[in-house]
Structure 1
C-alpha cells in the first residue's frame, strides 16, 4: 500500500544533513573516547599510580561501543542515506522495509538499552570499593537486553496473531510515493514496540534516579555533585521526551513535516543522553586523571598511589 503525500525537499534535505552530521559527530566522539580509555589503560600498566583511574575501563568500553553501534544503526532509518550512500545501487522497497524493521529492533531493543544499562551499571559501581569482573558486566548487560530484543522482535512479527488491532501497532515502515512519482519507504515506530520501550524507560528512570541519589549522598565535592546533577538531567529528561515522541509518531501521518520533526526529535533525545554520558563518565574522569598525574609529577617524579588518588566520579575507587 502506497501513501501519496507531497514532499518538502528542502526540509527533508536539512533533516538528512543534520542527522548525518550528528551521527558523524557522535561517532567521532565515541572514537576519541575509545582511544583515551585504551590509552589510559595501557599507560596504567607501566604507571602504578594510574591503576585507580583506569579500574573501570571495561565498563566504559562497553558504554562507548554501545553508543557507537546505536549511531551506526540510526543510519538505517534515513531514507536518503539508505538510497544514496549505504549501498552502491538503490534498494528495493522490500529491502528498505526490512532495514526499517531491523533498525527498530536493534535501536529500541538492543543498542540503546545496552548503553543505558551500562550507564546505570557504571554509576552504581563508581562508588564501590571493589570493581566487578568483566564477565559479570557483559552478563548483566546481555541479561537485560536479550529479553527486550525478544519482545521487540515479537511486536514486529505478531500482526497475524492480533489481526483485530490497527496497523500502527505493528507497522515499522510505510511505502511512500512523493509528488514526483518517486517510490521509497519511510520508517515508522510500531506502537507495541513503543509500549515495550516505554515500560523499560519508566523502570530505568526510577533505578537511575535512585542510583544518582545514592551517589549524591556520598559525594561532598561540589564539582562532582554538579556533574551528577548534569548527568541526571541529561538522562532523565531526554528519555521520557523520546517515549512521548514515539507515541506521537505512531499517530502521525508519514510524509508530513510534523512527522519528520518528530522522528528527528526521537533521534536527538538519545543522542543527547549518549553525549552527556560520554562527556561526564569518560572524558572528564580521564582529564582529571591526567591532570592529577601531571600535578604529582611536578612535585615528585615518582608519585605514589596515595598521592594521586582523588575522588573522581566514575573514575574508579
Structure 2
C-alpha cells in the first residue's frame, strides 16, 4: 500500500503532517521532563517541584488531540483494519468526543491552572498538585462530554430530518451513506455546528478568565523575558481560539468534499497546533530550563557559573543572582 494515495488532498496531507508533528513534539516534551527529573532530581525538586508533574498533562492532552485529529482524516482511515473502515462514522464520533469534548477543554484548563499556580503558594506535594490539576481538567471537560454524547444520541432520531435540527447538528442527506457505500469510506468528518457553538461558548468564557490570570502574573514578574513569554502565550491562546471557532463556524456552509471546507479545516488544525505548541514551549520546556540554569547561576561563584545538567546559562549571566531568582520565583 502506497503511503500517499492520489485521492488524498493537499489539505489532508498538511493536516496529517501538522498533527503528527504535534504528536511527536508532545511525546518528546514528556520524555524530556522525565529524563531531567531522573538526572537532576534534587535540583528539579528544589526549583520547579511540585508543578513538574502537572506540566506533563499538557503533552498528554495535546497527544490525545493529535491522535483524534488523525482519526478524522481519510488518509489514515483508509489504512485502518477493514472492520473499522466499514464504520467511519464511529471514527468521526470518536474524533469529536476526544478532541472538542475532552482534549481541548482539558488542555486549556491545565494552562490556566499553571498560570494561576505560579502566583499561589505551592502545594505540599507533586501528587496533590497533579490530582488537583487532573480533577479540574476532567471537571471542565465533563459538561462537553455529556452534551456531545447527547448530541450523538439524538442525531440518529427520526426527527433529525427537520430543517432546523439538521442545520444545528450538521446533518445533511449527502452525509448519510450505507455501510457498504464506497463514498462512506472516503468521506470526511464534518464539523457540526452544535460542537462549534459549544466551542465558541468555551472560548467566550475562557478567554477573559485566562487574560485576567495572565495579567495578574505579568504584574508581579520582574524578568522581562518571562513577561514577554506570558504576552506571547496570552496572544497565542486568544488568537488561536478565535481562529479555530471562526473557521469551524464558516466551514459549516460548505460540504465536506469542497476545497473551501478542507482549507478551513486545515486552518483550524494549524490554530490548535500553534496554541498547543506554544503552551508546551512556554509552560513546559522553558520553565525547567530556566529553573535549572538560574539555580546554578545563583549557587556558583561569578566566574564558575555552569550548569551541572548541561543547560546553557548565557541568557541569565548578565542578571544579579538575587534578582534573577526573585523574578523567576514570582513568575512561577
Q: TM-score, normalized by length of structure 1?
A: 0.84
| 2:59 aligned partner | 64
Say which SS state the counterpart of residue 188 (structure 2) adopts. Answer: strand
Shift of the 258–189 alpha-carbon distance from structure 1 to 2, 3 Å rule, reads same
Shift of the 152–216 alpha-carbon distance from structure 1 to 2, 3 Å rule, reads same
| 2:318 aligned partner | none
Deviation at 1:176, TM superposition (A): 7.6
Of 190, 196, 199, the match for 1:197? 199
Q: Quick check: 1:89 aligned with 2:86? A: no
Moved over 6 A (4+): 305-308
Deviation at 1:60, TM superposition (A): 0.4
RMSD (CA atoms): 3.0
Deviation at 1:143, TM superposition (A): 1.1
Deviation at 1:50, TM superposition (A): 4.7
| 2:50 aligned partner | 55
| 1:5 aligned partner | none
Say which SS state the counterpart of residue 120 (structure 2) adopts. Answer: coil
Of 205, 229, 232, the match for 1:230? 232
Shift of the 301–156 alpha-carbon distance from structure 1 to 2, 3 Å rule, reads closer
Of 11, 15, 20, the match for 2:16? 20
Of 107, 121, 136, the match for 1:140? 136
- In the TM superposition, what are the counterparts of 1:161-240 in structure 2 within 5 Å? 163=160, 164=162, 165-171=164-170, 174=175, 183=184, 184-240=186-242
Deviation at 1:104, TM superposition (A): 1.0
Could you say which structure has the higher strand fraction? 1
| C-alpha contact 1:234 1:273 (8 A) present in aligned 2 | yes
Q: Describe the superposition over 1:76-102 as per-residue Cα deviations: whole angstroms up to 9, x where unpaired.
A: 100121112xx2437445x10111122
| C-alpha contact 2:254 2:261 (8 A) present in aligned 1 | yes
| C-alpha contact 1:252 1:259 (8 A) present in aligned 2 | yes
Could you say which structure has the higher helix fraction? 2
Structure 2 unaligned runs (5+)? 309-320
Q: Describe the superposition over 1:171-193 as per-residue Cα deviations: whole angstroms up to 9, x where unpaired.
A: 4792589xxx7552220111112
Distance in 2 (alpha carbons) for counterparts of 1:97 and 1:258: 22
| 1:74 aligned partner | 69
